[in-house]
């Protein structure tokens, strides 16, 4: 029996992490890292789904995302690993691909949404089947929990389905069913007030942004459309800036709420308060980020160690899988 319960989660390295990642998953991970053995996958192969032409940037993004992880306070001794460097995951994906029916993938709402968002007209086989590969990312280490944002739920459900089918068909309880954990605010709307915060829509605030950039971005944020002038009372419940206040600084938010409703604080002033508070919150994160960013050797070493550990677990699981599938020959 394992000593600690396991957590697995991860990201695609498509750019720097931002506040959306913070509320959607990093905050959860910070809490979980003290109680669980944590596996964090950097899913570099998965970037090829809708950013195939950006293959040259992936390695740099792996480095950046790793700096972000350490910057927010994830400890170096968690198991951080790179998807493409654990070839057993690719093998497991092949086995799993026989357990998933095509319509199940074609119906996947997250997949549909992503292909629409990035204007992918003819989906590659790899894109269509990435949830199967993600099931392998998850199941190989038999995690208890998979903390993710709401958009990932269909993928976790598929992973559970794959685990169930595998156990049923091959007559062994190789894969325990992992449980998804949602954070309290799984999707953060970006500063455009319309879409989920994301790098590709440029509606984000990154850890890598400077204080000045952060302030500029907050100042450009979408606010209450029903309040053209400061003298008009605001509708904080529907205002994005207020949403940010309440998520990050609940106590300040109480004050803003009443002042905004009474037209005692203007939108610009309200945004400047938010920018100032966010910048104080981000200051230690930026400091740690700079520390690691200027010491690439340390960062790559952490990834090398994590990948080695993840591989060891994967090799063991694949042994069990081949045995269950009768792919263990007497030579
Ligand atoms: N699909 C996830 C995302 O886009 C990244 C990911 C890859 C992942 N493999 C995973 C998340 C396994 C959780 C578990 O954010």
Ligand 1 centroid distance, CA of 137 (Å): 8
Q: Which atom of ligand 1 is nearest to the CA of 155?
A: 1
User: For residue 193, is it within any domain?
Assistant: no
Together in a domain, 72 and 138: yes
**Are 256 and 223 in contact, with CB atoms under 8 Å apart?**
no
Of the candidates 213, 205, 248, 241, the residue with the CA atom closest to the CA atom of residue 225? 241
User: For residue 192, is it within any domain?
Assistant: no
CATH number at residue 138: 3.40.50.620
| Domains of the chain: total | 2
- Percentage of the chain beyond pLDDT 90 is 75
d(CA 25, CA 31): 10
d(CA 66, CA 121): 32
- Look up residue 25 and give its DSSP letter: I
Judge if the beta carbon of residue 12 lies within 6 A of ligand 1.
Answer: yes
Judge if the beta carbon of residue 43 lies within 6 A of ligand 1.
Answer: yes
Average pLDDT, the chain: 93
User: For residue 200, is it within any domain?
Assistant: no
Together in a domain, 154 and 284: no
Ligand 1 centroid distance, CA of 312 (Å): 21
Whole-prediction pTM? 0.92
Together in a domain, 72 and 47: yes
Span 210-258, pLDDT tens digits: 999 999 999 999 887 777 788 888 888 889 999 999 999 999 999 999 9
Indicate the angle between helix axes 267-293 and 211-219, nearest 10 degrees.
Answer: 150
Span 150-160, pLDDT tens digits: 889 999 999 99
Q: Residue 123's pLDDT is what?
A: 87
User: For residue 1, is it within any domain?
Assistant: no
CATH number at residue 263: 1.10.240.10
User: For residue 23, is it within any domain?
Assistant: yes
Span 21-78, pLDDT tens digits: 998 889 889 999 999 999 999 999 999 998 888 899 999 999 999 999 999 999 999 9
Size of the chain in residues: 331
d(CA 181, CA 321): 26
User: For residue 31, is it within any domain?
Assistant: yes
Together in a domain, 259 and 317: no
d(CA 171, CA 87): 25
Together in a domain, 132 and 219: no
- What is the domain extent for residue 233? 211-289
Together in a domain, 183 and 316: yes
User: For residue 196, is it within any domain?
Assistant: no
**Are 321 and 163 in contact, with CB atoms under 8 Å apart?**
no
The residue whose CB lies within 8 Å of the most ligand 1 atoms, and thus the one to mutate among 12, 47, 180, is: 12
Span 273-290, pLDDT tens digits: 999 999 999 999 999 999
**Mean pLDDT, residues 314-328 taken together:** 96
User: For residue 203, is it within any domain?
Assistant: no
Together in a domain, 34 and 161: yes
Together in a domain, 79 and 216: no
C-beta pairs of 157-165 under 8 Å, 24+ apart in sequence: 158/100, 158/104, 158/108, 158/131, 158/132, 158/134, 159/131, 159/134, 159/135, 161/100, 161/104, 162/96, 162/99, 162/100, 162/132, 162/135, 163/135, 163/139, 165/99
Together in a domain, 34 and 144: yes
Of the candidates 234, 280, 276, 274, the residue with the CA atom closest to the CA atom of residue 257? 234
Q: Which atom of ligand 1 is nearest to the CA of 8?
A: 14
- Residue 1 — pLDDT band, cuts 50, 70, 90? low
Q: Residue 292's pLDDT is what?
A: 98
Q: Residue 140's pLDDT is what?
A: 98
Together in a domain, 151 and 15: yes
Q: Residue 200's pLDDT is what?
A: 80
């Amino acid at each position: 029996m394992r000593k600690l319960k396991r957590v697995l989660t991860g990201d695609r390295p498509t750019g720097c992490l931002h506040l959306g990642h913070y509320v959607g998953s990093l905050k959860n991970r910070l809490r979980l890292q003290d109680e669980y053995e944590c596996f964090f996958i950097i899913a570099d192969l998965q970037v090829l789904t809708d950013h195939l032409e950006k293959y040259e940037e992936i390695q740099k993004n792996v480095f950046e995302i790793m700096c972000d992880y350490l910057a927010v306070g994830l400890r170096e001794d968690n198991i951080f690993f790179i998807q493409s460097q654990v070839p057993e995951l690719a093998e497991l994906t092949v086995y799993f691909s026989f357990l998933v029916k095509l319509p199940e993938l074609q119906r996947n709402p997250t997949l549909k949404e992503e292909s629409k968002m990035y204007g992918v007209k003819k989906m590659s086989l790899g894109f269509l089947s990435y949830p199967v590969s993600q099931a392998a990312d998850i199941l190989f280490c038999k995690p208890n929990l998979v903390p993710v944002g709401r958009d990932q739920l269909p993928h976790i459900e598929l992973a559970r389905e794959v685990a169930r089918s595998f156990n049923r068909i091959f007559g062994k309880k190789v894969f325990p069913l992992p449980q998804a954990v949602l954070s309290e605010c799984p999707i953060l709307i970006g500063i455009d007030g319309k879409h989920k915060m994301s790098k590709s829509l440029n509606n984000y605030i990154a850890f890598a942004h400077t204080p000045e950039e952060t302030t500029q971005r907050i100042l450009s944020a979408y606010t209450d459309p029903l309040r053209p002038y400061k003298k008009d009372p605001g509708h904080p419940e529907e205002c994005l800036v207020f949403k940010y206040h309440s998520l990050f600084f609940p106590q300040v938010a109480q004050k803003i709420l009443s002042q905004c409703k009474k037209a005692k604080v203007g939108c610009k002033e309200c945004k400047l308060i938010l920018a100032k508070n966010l910048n104080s919150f981000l200051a230690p994160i930026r400091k740690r980020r700079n520390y690691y960013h200027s010491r690439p050797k340390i960062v790559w070493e952490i990834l090398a160690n994590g990948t080695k550990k993840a591989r060891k677990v994967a090799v063991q699981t694949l042994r069990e899988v081949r045995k269950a599938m009768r792919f263990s020959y007497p030579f």
